[in-house]
Amino acid sequence: MWLRGLPGLILATGHLLPVSSVHRLARTSTLVRIVMNAAGQVLDMGRKVRLATPAQRRAIFARYATCWVDGCPLPATLCQIDHADDWCSGGLTDLKLLGPACQFHNRDRYRHPTRYTRRNIGDDRWAFTYRNPRTTRLRV
């Protein structure tokens, strides 16, 4: 290839991107960490994207049978994909921090976070226990 000795970056299209353009991109761009599986499907995206990718959704459906709140029978395939750590508060869109939540539990967990206790069930899976404040009694 005749461009090989020139300073710059050769793009996938075969075009040469001059060094000045590479420097400009480096100064004005942000880095995005993306983790892919062996088939090249995106699994972890950090904070750059809020919604789960189709590959992440398939992986979540393979890992969870139902909503990740204990006792909720709604199948995972009918659930919304939820962040273990609230995305608005800095949670990551990484497979190990995503799971299925039915619409009720997804909304309720963010409206009333003190009603839920999170626990780890394996290296990278989570479950939530719902504590109903009406049935929780104060001990004196």
Per-domain residue ranges of the chain: 50-130
67: exposed, middle or buried (Cβ count in 10 Å: 0-12, 13-18, 19+): buried
85-134: pLDDT as tens digits: 888 888 888 888 899 999 999 999 989 999 999 999 877 788 999 987 67
The confidence band for 12, taking pLDDT boundaries of 50, 70 and 90, is low
- Collapsing DSSP to helix, strand or coil, 35 comes out as strand
- 68 neighbors 99 (Cβ within 8 angstroms): yes
Give burial (CB, 10 Å; 0-12/13-18/19+) of 69.
buried
**Whole-model pTM?**
0.63
* 100-105 own/partner pairs: CB under 8 Å, 24+ apart: 100/60, 100/61, 100/64, 100/66, 100/67, 100/68, 100/76, 101/67, 101/68, 101/69, 102/67, 102/69, 102/72, 102/74, 102/78, 103/79, 105/67, 105/68, 105/69, 105/72, 105/130
At 69 the three-state DSSP class reads strand
